[in-house]
Amino acid sequence: MIEFVFAPDDVARVRFAFSPLWELVHGLRVLADPSRHALHLPWVRRVRPRLRGLDLELLGELVPAEGYVPDFLTPPPATPLPDFAAELETVRATPPCTVAEEITWARPGVAVGARRRALAGEPDRTLERVADQLERFWTQAVEPYWEPIRDLLEGDVLRRTRALAAHGAEGVFADLHRGVAWRTDTLVVDRPWSFRSELRGRGLLLVPSAFVWPRVSVMVPPYQPMLSYPPLGVATLWESRPAAPPDALAALVGRRRAQLLAALETPASTTELARRLGVTAGAVSQHLGVLRACGLVTGHRLGRRVLYSRTGAGDALAAAGDAG
């Protein structure tokens, strides 16, 4: 297991971000073995035809279905809202010695294959090819679906930031993942290898990721300590139709507004809500305006985007409708 030991000021340095590059790498793992990620089979079916004829051999070598992935492929996000181009430039700037070292890393007793040794022998060329393949995979497989993924990740960041402010570390980690536990001043992550580290003022970076589901992923020093986890609501990501709202709630506020309240169990943007409900963004905005005026939903600005979430009254009304 992995243990991150928190000093008092480390809790104040817990921060959230998400990463297009992390999604890309975890997406490669999904494609390598879809049976481990059944939730994302709709995406797999859509993407595979787009990848025909695309050279991804090197990425397939470096990103296995499970096990170690070279850390330079997933640099910790430098900002809360990074973009793929900036992250790819970070990868391209990796020192050749780091590329060679991480490509040939193996657990004690595990031999490094000839293919890996050959790649490590030409780290500059390897890095250039890796970066080019990452860019092509992003364009074909992730970017076309990035908007709903981004909405899901931003919504989780918003929810957990509020939980951290209201309840501290325990409020954030209590329902993060079944393999993660908070014990007094230590975060324990269930992993098949052992590592224990005091954070010593570095804090912890929490990175929600849709494609990491159903597991978690960890990065340890010398990199920024980081934990990637599935966001709340990931099961709704590829839904084409919203679930029917409770009849009692629909009778009270109208079926479409009831659908919106149900969909806002996790925060979402107007565009994402329109996609999920199969209506125009303008129609969603009108209904949100009514729900907002009634104190049932509220908007939160993240960069240039606004995410909507239920208020306490909206939660209570949705729960009452379910109970009815």
- The residues facing 20 across adjacent strands are none
- Yes or no: say if 79 and 16 are a contact pair by the CB < 8 Å rule: no
- The residues facing 99 across adjacent strands are none
Instruction: Provide the pLDDT for residue 242.
Output: 52
* Torsion-angle region of 54 (φ positive above 0: left; ψ -120 to 50: alpha; else: beta): beta
* Torsion-angle region of 6 (φ positive above 0: left; ψ -120 to 50: alpha; else: beta): beta
The predicted-structure confidence for 77-96, as pLDDT tens digits, reads as follows 877 777 899 999 999 999 99
Q: Coil, strand or helix: which one is 54?
A: coil
The predicted-structure confidence for 245-271, as pLDDT tens digits, reads as follows 556 566 667 778 888 888 887 788 888
Among 36, 30, 29, 37, which Cα is nearest to 64's? 29
Which amino acid type is present at position 58? L
Task: Tell me the mean pLDDT in the region 309-316.
Answer: 80
The predicted-structure confidence for 33-76, as pLDDT tens digits, reads as follows 998 898 999 999 999 999 998 889 999 999 988 888 999 999 88
Instruction: Provide the pLDDT for residue 248.
Output: 55
| E strand or H helix at 308 | strand 305-310
Residues in contact with 8: Cβ distance below 8 Å, sequence separation at least 6, in sequence order: none
- Yes or no: say if 25 and 74 are a contact pair by the CB < 8 Å rule: yes
- Yes or no: say if 167 and 14 are a contact pair by the CB < 8 Å rule: no
Which amino acid type is present at position 264? L
Whole-model pTM: value is 0.73
- Is residue 243 predicted with pLDDT exceeding 70? no
Task: Tell me the mean pLDDT in the region 211-224.
Answer: 88
Which amino acid type is present at position 139? T
Backbone φ and ψ of 109, nearest 5°: 90, -5
**Beta-sheet pairing, 180-183 with 186-189:** antiparallel
d(Cα 75, Cα 312) in Å, to the nearest integer?
A: 37
Q: Which domains does the chain have, with CATH numbers?
A: 2-16+149-234 (no CATH), 20-145 (no CATH), 239-323 (1.10.10.10)
* Torsion-angle region of 84 (φ positive above 0: left; ψ -120 to 50: alpha; else: beta): alpha
